């Protein structure tokens, strides 16, 4: 069975790609942010998140996108049969996230992150992008390299053009 992990910084198109890929392959699609966040951008209790995460990755077939707690990434990488790393330059993530933020604040975002109608503050979103790039992405790149060396199928997407081409080819 296919277990596809789509990972990368915020604003890079993970959710859109995950929904499209899941529909194309007939797989359930899961957004990590839905188990991590509550309305008002309050974090879910750690125990709830860990239990929900364990249940998601235990499935035999899935597309899972998102980051979640860094400590749960190795488990997700181990269970995945395919990994898609969206790893564009940080400035592109800022640009795409700002576009999303603009739509969100206008109430025009079709699929808000975590299903939360209210947008996070732009400052909080930009801080998260920066911290993720500096703190989480090095480990994510390392885990991706390890998965590839172990024989897992890995796709690296480093530009919007590559993302669009991959998405259109589905």
pLDDT tens digits, residue range 148-170? 999 999 999 999 999 999 999 98
Among 6-20, 92-106, 112-126, top mean pLDDT goes to 6-20
- pTM (two decimals): 0.93
- When the candidates are 3.30.70.580, 3.40.50.300, 3.40.50.620, 2.60.40.10, the CATH number that belongs to 3-169 is 3.40.50.300
Q: How many residues does the chain have?
A: 170
54-70 pLDDT tens trace = 999 999 999 999 999 99
Of 115, 106, 136, nearest to 41 (Cα)? Answer: 115
9-18 pLDDT tens trace = 999 999 999 9
122-139 pLDDT tens trace = 899 899 999 999 999 999
Between these two residues, 4 and 109, which has the higher pLDDT value?
A: 4
């Amino acid at each position: 069975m296919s277990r596809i992990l789509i990972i990368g910084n915020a604003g890079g198109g993970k959710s859109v790609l995950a929904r499209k890929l899941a529909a194309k392959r007939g797989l359930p699609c899961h957004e990590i942010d839905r188990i991590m966040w509550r309305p008002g951008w309050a974090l879910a209790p750690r125990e709830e998140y860990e239990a929900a995460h364990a249940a998601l990755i235990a499935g035999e077939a899935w597309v899972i996108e998102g980051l979640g707690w860094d400590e749960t990434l190795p488990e997700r990488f181990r269970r995945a049969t395919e990994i898609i790393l969206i790893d564009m330059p940080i400035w592109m993530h800022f640009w795409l996230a700002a576009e999303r933020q603009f739509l969100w604040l206008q109430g025009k975002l079709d699929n808000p992150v975590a299903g939360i109608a209210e947008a996070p503050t732009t400052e909080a979103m930009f801080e998260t992008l920066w911290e993720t790039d500096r703190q989480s992405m090095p480990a994510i790149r390392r885990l991706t390299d390890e998965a590839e060396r172990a024989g897992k199928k890995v796709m690296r997407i480093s530009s919007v053009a590559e993302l669009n081409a991959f998405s259109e080819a589905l």
